[in-house]
Structure 1
Amino acid sequence: MNAAHLHLMTAHLPIVGIPFAAALLIAGLVGRSDTLWRTGCWAVLIAAAFAAVPYFSGPPAYELVKERYDVSSETVETHAIVARGTSLGLVLLGAITLSLLLRDWQGDPPGKSLKLPLLAAAVLAAYALAWTAHLGGLVRHPELSEPPLRVFPTIDV
């Protein structure tokens, strides 16, 4: 297995994990279930932790791919820029989630005023992950850009 394999296999874990976690958080809020809420928080932490692997395997994967295939360096750079921002967002989301879990564990469960912003951040992270994944797909599948998806912004590098 090389860096490209590792990157592609692990990149999908947070892409699926964060929306799943957000669904659990929603279910916990709507159903007023602390168990579902905590499970959603743990899912956020696990998905955010797994995001480190594709982040660090991205540059070596690019080196392998550019040697063997004709890939657009501009497309890769755009993907990398958005991936960096998304990764930073996941680190922050994970830190906030961990602090809320620790607070809960210490007997001071967070109220709705803290749960709603966490849920909003998880939904935003899910969108950022989808955008990052779309840009990553364009690296080897340029046909995905026609017609352009209107749900993601375009950036020039």
Structure 2
Amino acid sequence: MNDAHLHLIVNHFPIIGTIFGFGILLLGLILGNTTLKNTAYGIFILAALFGLASMATGDGAEEIVADMPGIGKQIIHEHEEIAEKLALLLDVLGVVSILGLFLNYKKQAKAKLVSYLVLVIACVAVFVAQQVGTSGGEIRHSEIRPNATAAPAPAGTESTTSEDKD
């Protein structure tokens, strides 16, 4: 197993975890359910930890795929720049989530305020996570790049549509 493989294993949870955590926290706020809020905080803390793991394996993954045909360093650089922003957001989200857990445990009045702060940070993180996921996917999946075009048919094959048969 190399760094590219490890990166692929750990890089999905920060994105998916942030999305799920946001939804669970929103539901917890709507229902006034502390257990749901604490669950969301736990998910955000895990997302932050997996974000650290993603960043730790990113450089090794870059070294492995940067010189592959059709990839190039520019697309990886763009992904890396956005990923660094997400990592910072997730670090803040994780720390504030720890504070939220502590305040809920102590039944502090400021716990509700912190939960709204976490919701705002998580909302921004979801937006950035979507960008990170898309830019990461574009590295190996050229078909989802904005400038993607249909690949030409392999030599010796013909396209047969219903119009061609008439």
Shift of 1:93: 0.9
Q: 1:29 to 1:45 in 2, by over 3 A?
A: same
For 2:32, the equivalent position in structure 1 comes to 32
For 2:142, the equivalent position in structure 1 comes to 142
- Structure 1 Cα separation of the partners of residues 102 and 65 of structure 2: 42
- Structure 1 Cα separation of the partners of residues 113 and 106 of structure 2: 18
1:60-139 matches, cutoff 5 A: 60-139=60-139
For 1:13, the equivalent position in structure 2 comes to 13
**Secondary structure at 1:51 match in 2:** helix
Shift of 1:105: 2.2
Structure 2 contact 104–111 (Cα < 8 Å) conserved: no
Range moving further from structure 2, 5-14 or 60-69: 60-69
- Structure 1 Cα separation of the partners of residues 114 and 60 of structure 2: 39
Paired AA for residue 101 in structure 1: L
- Structure 2 Cα separation of the partners of residues 110 and 48 of structure 1: 23
Instruction: Kindly name which structure, 1 or 2, has the bigger radius of gyration based on alpha carbons.
Output: 2
Q: How many pairs were matched up?
A: 148
After superposition, give the CA deviation of every residue in 1:101-127 in whole Å (9 maximum; x if it has no partner): 122223315343332221121121111
**Secondary structure at 1:98 match in 2:** helix
TM-score, structure 2 normalization: 0.82
Higher helix share: 1
Paired AA for residue 34 in structure 1: T
Paired AA for residue 53 in structure 1: A
TM-score, structure 1 normalization: 0.86
- Structure 1 Cα separation of the partners of residues 40 and 123 of structure 2: 12
- Structure 2 Cα separation of the partners of residues 94 and 42 of structure 1: 8
Paired AA for residue 136 in structure 1: G
Structure 1, gaps ≥5 residues long: 149-157
Identity among equivalent positions (%) equals 28
Shift of 1:73: 0.8
Shift of 1:66: 2.4
- Structure 2 Cα separation of the partners of residues 2 and 70 of structure 1: 21
CA RMSD of aligned residues (A): 1.7
- Structure 2 Cα separation of the partners of residues 111 and 15 of structure 1: 25
Structure 2, gaps ≥5 residues long: 149-166
